[in-house]
Chains A and B, each alone.
Chain A
Amino acid sequence: MVGMLITGLGLDATAQSTPKGQLTIAFDTSIASTYLDPAETTGIATPFVFL
């Protein structure tokens, strides 16, 4: 039981250390360069998708 748990944790750690794949998201809004700067947040939720 303990062995299985340790193995499982090991696999999980290995998986976490290697990001894989590509995620593509289509937005129905223009991405403004100000969305990438925390100092420019305007009180709407959209910038936090990118921040």
Chain B
Amino acid sequence: MHDALIKPLPGNNMAACLAESWRESEDGLTYEFQLREGLTFHNGDPFTAEDVQFSFLRYRGTSAKLLHERVKAVEVIDAHRVRFVLHAPWPDFLTFYATPATGAAWIVPKKYQERVGEDGFKRHPVGLGPYRFERFDPGVELVIEANEHYWWKTPSIKQTNHLQGSAGAPDPPGDAEDGGGGHRVPDDRGRSDCRQRGPEAAARVGHAAGSLVLGVPRAMGCQIPLA
């Protein structure tokens, strides 16, 4: 749902995303990011340097203390340029700021967040990523839909449902040829059948009629209806 100034993309562990370029000063004290222009959040708000500044100051994740201690200021130069000023040279700044090690460079919309508040943002998050929030039923499912205006490329899948394994009932007896021990996840739309499985079981399932079975990390097997 969200996107970052810099993040790993295929073939590049630190690829330009919302920042189309950046440069470090010779003394190692400042990092200036040139932002991609013409981007809008899922709610239509324009993406600007103020969102970058706001997202950094709001960040309270795993490395917040370290980042906030070492970054002296985040300066908005203009609508599409932002400068991070450090107290002292920190060669690992981008490793901490701009990778999934912290997630600090992931951007949220300042105006929307201030308008709806923390609870409102959690109920309906808005971002700049390839998928936009549709609905979240805690304990049951998260549904996201393709953002056809995503800057990098249009997503291939229109809707993605993340079903929580706890929503499923145990497999019926005698249905353990795929490795067993899985949980059937109900699909009230009848468009897919998806079970929680061990990775070995998911690999053995292979292709099923009309569906593509993916092996994904964290003991999951799922099917994409092709029709």
Interface residues of A (CB under 8 A from B): 15-31, 33-34, 36-43, 45-51
Contacts and interface: CB of A to CB of B under 8 A. Distances in A.
Contacts of A29: 164-165, 218
A50 B162 contact: yes
B160 A23 contact: yes
Contacts of A25: 160-163, 194, 216, 220, 222
B220 A28 contact: yes
- Main SS of chain A's interface residues? mixed
B158 interface: yes
Contacts of A49: 162
Nearest to B7: A48
Interface residues of B, number: 64
Given A22-B157, A38-B59, A31 B142 contact: yes
A18 B154 CA distance: 8
Contacts of B103: 38, 41, 47-48, 51
Given A22-B191, A51-B1, A17 B220 contact: no
A40 to B, nearest CB: 6
B196 interface: yes
Contacts of B161: 22-25
